[in-house]
Structure 1
Amino acid sequence: MYISGVKSMPVCTVVALFGGMILALHSGVQFIKYGQQDFVPVLMINIMNKEMGSFLTAIIITAFSGAAMAAELGTMKVSEEIDALEMMSINPVSYLVMPRVVSMLLMLPALSVYTIVLGVSGGAIVSYFQLGITTEAYYRMVFESIWIKDIYVGLLKSVVFALIISSISCANGLKAGGGALGVGQATRVSVVSSYLMVLIVGYIITALFYGGFV
């Protein structure tokens, strides 16, 4: 939980804050041409809630915690520590995998909320200094544009992403073989597979809830 949460926070802070600032700047430059810069707060909260909050966090956690899980379990596998656990009648899944899955399920949604708050705050900074939108007006429009559906879809994505990342990382770690080279390969495969699955599943959830199915 410490690796999945606390140690990931500095990276999440930088990515969320500056990601929000970049998004607000690019959208604001386009909106201001038509005198519609007041739509920037609406855009920010919608994008961060529906997509970017959970997606950015999942990408960071995959690189930070998913890779660590695969490498740690892979090292234990090639050094026969997992075989030793099985000889002592200790189930490696319940002893090693489940705590990592649970910690990911707890921390990724929490970090997603943190990322959303910081991303929207980054948009507020750009809106105030470069788009002429006061902080009070910005946050008023943000709160007026929050929909309950967007919140639970974003949280659902973060929970599903947590399951995907932890499951893929642990599975590849437990399948590692061939010494240090095998550990490296397992780590690489887990990161790439997690990225691809996060993208695919993220689209499916978006299509289900915003494509007229739900």
Structure 2
Amino acid sequence: MNYFESIGSYAIMIREVFKKPTKWKIMKTLILKEIDELMFGSLGIIIFISFFIGGVVAIQTALNLTNPLLPGYLIGFATRQSIILEFAPTFCSIIMAGKVGSYITSSIGTMRVTEQIDALEVMGVNALNYLVFPKIIALLLYPFVIAIAMYVGIFGGWLAGVSGGHSTSADFIEGIQLDFIPFHVTYAFIKTLVFAFILATIPSYHGFYMKGGALEVGKASTTSFVWTSVAIIFLNLILTQLFLG
């Protein structure tokens, strides 16, 4: 299957996801299950990464501000901007492509290999709606995860900057508050919602349409991670140019 055929198949899959919906009583259970596995299950790694990334950004900023005439609040300012605009929405999404994306591809791919998807279709169930739609809805909560990542990242930067003697607490907090533009947070959440849709659908596509056995499930997971990451990076450029350019 070439590149253009893959895009066509992906578009058809998205259309089919919203056709012939599963009964709400069943769908509600599926959505809650996906929220628990995809969102709550990812909080730990997101908090861990955000905390240390925030610390690294603060330290690296401080080490590059060697001119004594530069104000100390620039460390807090640079940390806030880096975390909110890029590290929280984009870097965390690439991490999620490895964790959540691989899980989605492998779980759906395993169902394909074991013919569970065929069984759903024989019973008259829209397998795409049954499997993919709950993941899309669950990942609508992804902005809440990124909001936590922003807070933890800035806190990690403050802790690293103050405890390492690179900045005073007052200077760092002044930098966090300096020239704050609320739209930057809105922009980050818009990016996050787009990335959430990508995280739910591209891995599902690679899992649903895979062929072969157990070995191919692993290959499909790797391929989905690569293409999900590429899509996130490409859309990051487009959205940044669109909203901030």
Indicate the TM-score class for this superposition, using the shorter chain for normalisation.
over 0.9
Bigger mean CA deviation after superposition, 35-44 or 92-101: 35-44
User: What is the count of residue pairs matched by the alignment?
Assistant: 210
SS at match of 1:155: helix
Alignment match, 2:208: 174
1:13 to 47, 51, 66: 47
Consecutive unaligned residues of structure 1, counting only runs of 5 or more, are none
2:77 aligns with 42
Amino acid at match of 2:139: M
Question: Aligned pair 1:158/2:192, yes or no?
Answer: yes
Instruction: Report the counterpart of residue 16 of structure 2 in structure 1.
Output: none
Question: How far off its partner does 1:34 sit?
Answer: 3.8
How far off its partner does 1:122 sit?
1.1
AA of the residue aligned to 1:52: F
Aligned partner letter, 1:8 = S
Separation of aligned partners in 2, 1:146 and 1:103: 30
Corresponding position: 1:79 with 2:114: yes
- Confirm whether residue 100 of structure 1 aligns to residue 135 of structure 2: yes
Cα displacement string for residues 46-78 of structure 1 (whole angstroms, at most 9, x for unaligned residues) = 111111110122022111111100000001011
Q: Distance in 1 between matches of 2:66 and 2:39?
A: 38
| Conserved? CA contact 2:62–2:166, under 8 Å | no
The answer as to 2:232 corresponding to 1:189 is no
Cα shift at 1:100 = 0.8
CA contact (8 A) 1:104 1:163 kept: yes
> Structure 1 length normalisation: TM-score?
0.93
User: 1:198 matched to which residue of 2?
Assistant: 232
Deviation at 1:132, TM superposition (A): 4.8
- The alignment yields a C-alpha RMSD, in angstroms, of 1.4
**Superposed displacement of residue 33, structure 1:** 3.0
Per-residue deviation, 1:209:
1.8
Please report how far the alpha carbon of residue 134 of structure 1 lies from its aligned counterpart in structure 2 after TM superposition: 2.9
Deviation (angstroms), 1:8: 1.2
Q: Deviations over 1:9-33 (max 9, x none)?
A: 2211221111111111011111143
C-alpha offsets along residues 161-186 of structure 1, whole Å, 9 cap, x if unaligned?
01111110101110111110221121
AA aligned opposite 1:158: T
Report deviation, 1:128.
Answer: 1.1
**CA distance 1:88–1:60, shift in 2 (3 Å):** same
Quick one: percent identity of the two aligned structures? 25
TM-score (normalised: structure 2): 0.81
SS in 2 for 1:8: helix
Q: Is the 8 A contact 2:158 2:172 kept in 1?
A: yes
Question: How far 1:125 sits from its partner (Å)?
Answer: 1.1
User: Matched residues in 1 for 2:68 and 2:153: separation?
Assistant: 24
Distance in 2 between residues matched to 1:179 and 1:168, nearest whole Å: 20
| Superposition deviation, residue 109 in structure 1 | 1.1
> Structure 1: which amino acid aligns with 2:137?
V
Q: Contact 1:74–1:176 at 8 Å: present in 2 too? A: yes
Distance 1:5 1:35, change over 3 A: farther
Partner AA of 2:200 in structure 1? S
Contact 2:162/2:169, CA 8 A, preserved across alignment: yes
> What is the one-letter code of the residue matched to 2:212?
G
CA distance, structure 2, for counterparts of residue 153 and residue 28 of structure 1: 27
The more displaced of 8-17 and 139-148 is 139-148
